[in-house]
Amino acid sequence: MTTTTAGTASTVTLTDTDVVRAVFQAFAGADIAALGGLRHADATWHHRNDDRLGGVHHGGDAIMAYLARSAQLTTDTLRAVPQSFMADGQGRVCALVRLSATRPDGRTMDGPQLLLITLDGGRVRSIDQFVGDRAAVAAFWA
């Protein structure tokens, strides 16, 4: 990545963890354009649970629809707060995340989830989402 400041160019090298942090920042700020720029058009998101949002979401439109549906079902209370990151230096980053949300009927979710993010060329190629308490998460989304 090259940045220009006051007519001078400098190179800024982002680590894989920096890219993943930027994804979380864009999600927290509902910055759709930034989210789009941080992933490949053919990226996938695999929500690994047997619930209404479970399965593999292929491509940018499907991923954005998944995120929008999550926000809609929680009346925009869904929060994903990263607790820690671990990177292998080869394009894979594990993020331990505290996910919380409230449904309009009062159901709540607040617990750990793990995201395994695979990067390619500094952008997200895939996200595998592992939920903590599978039954509780399924009941939340039911």
Identify the pLDDT of residue 66. 95
Identify the pLDDT of residue 9. 59
SS3 38: coil
Identify the pLDDT of residue 12. 59
* Segment 6-20 mean pLDDT: 74
> Strands (DSSP E) along the chain, which ranges?
2-5, 8-11, 39-48, 55-58, 79-87, 92-102, 108-120, 123-131
Specify the CATH number for the domain of residue 108: 3.10.450.50
Which residues on neighbouring strands pair with residue 35, listed in sequence order?
none
Tally of domains within the chain:
1
Neighbours of 78 (CB within 10 A): 17
Contacts with 59 (C-beta within 8 Å, 6 or more apart), sequence order: 41, 42, 43, 44
Distance of alpha carbon 18 from alpha carbon 70, whole angstroms: 25
Identify the pLDDT of residue 11. 58
The boundaries of the domain holding residue 70 are 2-141
**pTM of the entire structure?**
0.86
pLDDT tens for each residue of 19-61: 999 999 999 998 989 999 999 999 999 999 999 999 999 999 9
